[in-house]
Amino acid sequence: MTAESRTRKPLWRRWFGTRSERAAARFLRRERGYRILRRNFSCPRGELDIIALDGDCLVFVEVRSTEGEDSIPPVESVDHDKQRRLTDLALIFLQRHRLLGHAARFDILAVCWPPDRSKPIIEHFPNAFQPTGRFQMFT
């Protein structure tokens, strides 16, 4: 997502997304032991929410959030087109940082904020999908 398209979102949606991404990064660091390398990597083709290291593996994390308790609809929203865009963005990141030979995967984090809770319910889907599109990544 470009900076221009980010500003078109309503203020409350940007706030909610940022809050969810912070909770996701904290969860990955504290609960899973990931090392967060980058948040909100942007280029003209879009944005990667979180880039982290899980051991020797680079992990591109898509954060999906909802105000309810059901994590399935946000996860299902990462359809084939979204997977292709994320794959393209990951390849751009890997090329720019000369990491094409590095192991990589895609995780999805569903961050659910029920109205009656002060902390989110976070569900982690490691290796949620394989790279798609014309170019394949190393795994």
Series of mean pLDDT values for 10-residue runs along the chain (139 residues): 53 75 96 97 95 97 84 80 95 95 95 88 94 64
Phi and psi, residue 51, nearest 5°: -120, 125
pLDDT of residue 3: 47
Is the residue at 81 inside a domain? yes
Is the residue at 36 inside a domain? yes
The tokens for 14 are 């940007």
Encode 123-134: b = buried (16+ Cβ within 10 Å), e = exposed: bbbeebbebbee
Is the residue at 138 inside a domain? no
Distance CA 50, CA 39 (A): 5
Is the residue at 137 inside a domain? no
Q: Which domain holds residue 57?
A: 3-129
Number of domains making up the chain: 1
Q: How do beta strands 57-66 and 104-112 pair?
A: parallel
Which of the 8 DSSP states describes residue 116? T
pLDDT of residue 33: 97
Number of Cβ atoms within 10 Å of the Cβ of 37: 14
pLDDT of residue 14: 75
- The CATH number assigned to the domain holding 7 equals 3.40.1350.10
Is the residue at 73 inside a domain? yes
Nearest to 92 by CA among 43, 33, 25: 43
Is the residue at 135 inside a domain? no
pLDDT of residue 75: 78
Is the residue at 139 inside a domain? no
pLDDT of residue 7: 53
Given a contact cutoff of 8 angstroms between Cβ atoms, the answer to whether 101 and 66 are in contact is no
Distance CA 74, CA 109 (A): 9
pLDDT of residue 31: 96
